[in-house]
Amino acid sequence: MKPLLGDPFILEEYTLDDLKKHPILVWSTVKAIDPDKKYLTPLLNSTNLTDDFNHAKLLMKINGTDIYAEASYNAEDRSVYSILVWDGNDSIDIEDSDLEEPISLLAVPEINGVAGVEFMLQTREDFYAYQVR
């Protein structure tokens, strides 16, 4: 199936509600309106992140809580990085959060057809959370 992409969001200007509607954001390949800004485009016709979209941003939940997060997915080593935690419509770096360590993150979209993929972040200061096998 050919991916159907929506209108691009300026990086850091989308909301948690935008991510809940479209839990996968891929780096935009369209000509940027403002070349000084980076853009992400929602994947409209799938909630399955495949390796075709390496480094896409995806919606996550902190396991056992109602707290949402987002992270970029690295298909090469099955990790997530650049993890942000959502508090309403604001996000903070996970290292600035008060979450208890280690932190278990669950992908909201499927990853390569698997639902509920879990990633473990050992400390808030770690940059990568690795997929639990």
Query: pLDDT tens for residues 66-105?
Result: 999 999 999 999 999 999 999 988 999 999 999 999 999 9
Write down the pLDDT at residue 112.
95
d(CA 48, CA 114): 8
Tell me the β-bridge partners of 97: none
Write down the pLDDT at residue 32.
62
Write down the pLDDT at residue 31.
66
In the chain, domain spans: 9-131
CA atoms within 13 A of residue 110's CA, in its CB half-sphere:
8
What is the number of H-type helices and E-type strands within the chain?
1, 12
What is the β-pairing status of strands 68-74 and 57-62?
Answer: antiparallel
The pTM (predicted TM-score) of the whole model is: 0.92
Please write the tens of the pLDDT for every residue from 28-61: 866 667 777 788 999 999 999 999 999 999 999 9
Write down the pLDDT at residue 29.
65
